[in-house]
A and B are shown apart, each in its own frame.
Chain A
Amino acid sequence: MTDNNVLLSVDDLFKHFPIMRGVLQRQVGAVRAVDGISFDIHRGETLGLVGESGCGKSTTGRAVLQLHRPTSGSVRFEGTDLTQIKGEELRLMRRKMQMIFQDPYASLNPRMTVGEIIGEPLLVHKVATKAEADERVKQLLELVKLNPSFSTRYPHEFSGGQRQRIGIARALALQPSFIVCDEPISALDVSIQAQVVNLLEELQNKFNLTYLFIAHDLSMVRHISDRVAVMYLGVMVELATRDELYSHPLHPYSQALLSAVPIPDPVAEAARQRTILTGDVPSPANPPSGCRFRTRCPIAEAICAESRPEFREIRPGHFVACFFADRYL
């Protein structure tokens, strides 16, 4: 685990949102959005993070970038623990890590021109003069395959896919080494999704970028990721290389998730075995004891309610949090 190639190392990360009640705003509980997760991201790789809505994927991405300060745990980025720095020091670190947002309609300030939006990071960090920034904005627009003359336009004049490219250009402006892609394609039309994903891959090759790619579209994650992590109710249940995870999922949740992906072949599709989960995701404010997944798990036993399964390396590079994962080896 102490690899020189590790760009980002997340250790035992917690993010709890307090629930306040009453006139005095006393804390009556907490939404355990992220409840103790650990993973590494290697330089130049794409780590896919999947899970259903509300499982804490986006919160993880934001906690890594310190947009939500973690409740506890550490996030080491190029050797610096981001949870320990603040103010100006953190502000300077932000040059190296950026984010691409989910909603291209909400992530661009409607009162600023495209040029101002993309050039803002350069001016905020004073790495360019106004004229240099304008020049750089034009390059960036070309890089994301938009017309450089668009820089004087306003976001409302663009389509969702174009806006998402503007968001990507903004994220690239400071030449970061790490980008959190928070469901960058789920708000787009299917026809545009492929373009944006291909653009992201192209940029990754060009600039040796490292991505944390958050998504719920399993086939897109399979396409873009080197390794894939599966989250359920604030915890990570499985982490493996893409091929390993898609061919040999060991956690019953991953198995259920993957069995839900339709196969574009009528014969194979008809023979597809589905594991259908029953019930709803429990509330993250009051999660089940022991294993988070036990309430919906097809193979749960008494031990699952008593203690929390360790997130263990069952095979080299394949981590899973299940007592019975060995059965599927």
Chain B
Amino acid sequence: MSVQTASPNKIAVINDVFKPSRSLGQEAWSRLIRNKASVAGMFIVGFFIFLAIFAPVIAPMDPLKLHSGKRFLPPPFDQGATNIKAEPEFLLGTDSLGRDVLSRVIYGARVSMVVGFLPTTIILLMGSTIGMISGYIGGKLDNLLMRLTDVIYAFPDLLFFIIVMVALRDSFIGQFMNGLVLLFAALAIVNWVGVARLIRGQVLSLKQKEFVEAARCIGAKDTRIMFRHILPNSLSPLIVWAAFTIPGLIITEAVLGYLGLGLRPATDSGQFFVTSWGVLMLDGQTAINSQPYLLLAPAICVALVVLAFTFLGDGLRDALDPRMRGTQ
């Protein structure tokens, strides 16, 4: 029996040789930048990162300087119900101690941005390491690690934060960086379980894929299989997860700040973290009737950042996995 074929050589060559080649990542990026909402989200996030980095240059005043006799100044564009005369150099007015609100809000971006990105990095590293080990090695170790994540998952987050922040407030770690390190640690401990479960699931399904079997067949070592084959293919859900978790962390920080458990107020303006939006909201609520901007300014910032990240996350999910489009 003979098998007739067309010349396979020609068939292979005819295929568009001149089309530029793009990786899956590049294709996802081009889908992402076509999504208007996520591009807007990216710009807003970029803007706040810029504010956070260059706060000393951008802020019109020292955020800690007390302007005597200029307490509770309304913003120049809205005199409101007070009879205190607004002054043009205080664009958003002043607070109860005569400090410039705009400058304080700008400095507040630092905490929110760092709280968004730094714990997320720790969480991703911790969670994916544990998830990867759990899924790849399997067996008893997997069972042990997954029961541990179940326990942590079941613990109420906010309660955990409050207990940790109150109990360790005066310890060495609680004092470090105005209490932010303690906050990061608490956020990381609570949130790594989600990543670990996500990655474990990815590893379990990817482990069965033929390309992983092919890698074993050519004699690749376990570390290579994990880092070259499994990890790059688990990145998409990880990136999407991060984009949705960052706003969650920012809100948590604001809530804790509002409860008086977050960042402790800085005493001199040489410190990197002067204040946070949560702390500003706590300050601002006392004068909500006469001075709404004290509360509104940081609240709008929080809402804007959270919304921007959510748009970005939506766009990333659609771009990285087109099959997921339109799902929640």
User: Complex Cα distance A126/B214, Å?
Assistant: 17
User: Complex Cα distance A108/B23, Å?
Assistant: 14
Q: Whose C-beta in chain B lies nearest to the C-beta of A94?
A: B219
Q: Whose C-beta in chain B lies nearest to the C-beta of A102?
A: B210
- Counting CB contacts under 8 A, is B215 at the interface? yes
- Counting CB contacts under 8 A, is B271 at the interface? no
- Counting CB contacts under 8 A, is B233 at the interface? yes
- Counting CB contacts under 8 A, is A223 at the interface? yes
| A157 and B3 contacting across the interface, CB-CB below 8 Å | no
Q: Whose C-beta in chain A lies nearest to the C-beta of B23?
A: A154
Contact of B24 among A106, A110, A195, A197 (CB under 8 A): A110
Residues of B within 8 A of A194 (CB): 3-5
- Counting CB contacts under 8 A, is A149 at the interface? yes
| A124 and B3 contacting across the interface, CB-CB below 8 Å | no
Encoded as 1 (CB less than 8 Å from any A CB) or 0, chain B from 18 to 50 comes to: 010111110000000000000000000000000
Residues of A within 8 A of B24 (CB): 110-111, 154, 156
| A146 and B3 contacting across the interface, CB-CB below 8 Å | no
Contact of B221 among A62, A91, A149, A154 (CB under 8 A): A91
Encoded as 1 (CB less than 8 Å from any B CB) or 0, chain A from 23 to 59 comes to: 0010000000000000000000000000000000000
Total residue contacts A-B, CB cutoff 8 A: 107
Answer whether A120 and B5 are a contact pair too, CB < 8 Å, given A106-B211, A107-B214, A109-B229: no
Answer whether A65 and B217 are a contact pair too, CB < 8 Å, given A107-B211, A195-B5, A197-B3: yes
Encoded as 1 (CB less than 8 Å from any B CB) or 0, chain A from 102 to 140 comes to: 110011111111000000110011000000000000000
- Counting CB contacts under 8 A, is A98 at the interface? yes
- Counting CB contacts under 8 A, is A76 at the interface? no
| B216 and A67 contacting across the interface, CB-CB below 8 Å | yes
Contact of A91 among B211, B214, B219 (CB under 8 A): B219
Q: How far is the CB of A173 from chain B (nearest CB, A)?
A: 8
Encoded as 1 (CB less than 8 Å from any B CB) or 0, chain A from 141 to 173 comes to: 000011101001110111101100101001001
User: Complex Cα distance A195/B233, Å?
Assistant: 31
| A145 and B8 contacting across the interface, CB-CB below 8 Å | yes
Q: Whose C-beta in chain B lies nearest to the C-beta of A93?
A: B219
Chain B interface category by residue count: 35 or more
Pick from B21, B143, B218 the residue with the most CB of A within 10 Å: B218
- Counting CB contacts under 8 A, is B15 at the interface? yes
Q: Whose C-beta in chain A lies nearest to the C-beta of B211?
A: A109
User: Complex Cα distance A103/B13, Å?
Assistant: 23
| B3 and A101 contacting across the interface, CB-CB below 8 Å | no
Answer whether A157 and B21 are a contact pair too, CB < 8 Å, given A145-B12, A223-B3: yes
- Counting CB contacts under 8 A, is A5 at the interface? no
| A222 and B1 contacting across the interface, CB-CB below 8 Å | yes
User: Complex Cα distance A101/B124, Å?
Assistant: 33
Q: How far is the CB of A290 from chain B (nearest CB, A)?
A: 34
Residues of A within 8 A of B17 (CB): 147, 149
| A145 and B9 contacting across the interface, CB-CB below 8 Å | yes
| B218 and A170 contacting across the interface, CB-CB below 8 Å | yes
User: Complex Cα distance A161/B8, Å?
Assistant: 10
| B23 and A101 contacting across the interface, CB-CB below 8 Å | no
Answer whether A111 and B23 are a contact pair too, CB < 8 Å, given A103-B210, A106-B211, A219-B1: yes
User: Complex Cα distance A152/B5, Å?
Assistant: 28
| A94 and B218 contacting across the interface, CB-CB below 8 Å | yes
Answer whether A198 and B233 are a contact pair too, CB < 8 Å, given A67-B217, A91-B221, A170-B218: no
- Counting CB contacts under 8 A, is B170 at the interface? no
Q: How far is the CB of A315 from chain B (nearest CB, A)?
A: 24
Interface residues of B in 183-235 (CB under 8 A from A): 209-211, 213-221, 224, 228-229, 232-233
Q: List 23 A-B contacts (CB under 8 A).
A: A91-B219, A91-B221, A95-B219, A98-B217, A101-B213, A107-B211, A107-B213, A109-B228, A109-B229, A109-B232, A110-B233, A111-B23, A120-B215, A120-B228, A124-B218, A124-B221, A145-B8, A154-B22, A157-B21, A162-B12, A167-B214, A174-B218, A222-B1
Report the 8 A-B pairs with minimum CB-CB distance, sorted nearest first: A94-B219, A107-B210, A121-B218, A194-B3, A111-B232, A106-B210, A153-B21, A109-B211
20 new A-B pairs (CB below 8 Å) besides A124-B221, A157-B19? A67-B213, A95-B219, A99-B213, A101-B214, A106-B211, A109-B215, A109-B229, A109-B232, A109-B233, A111-B233, A120-B228, A121-B219, A124-B224, A125-B218, A145-B8, A145-B9, A154-B22, A154-B24, A157-B21, A195-B6
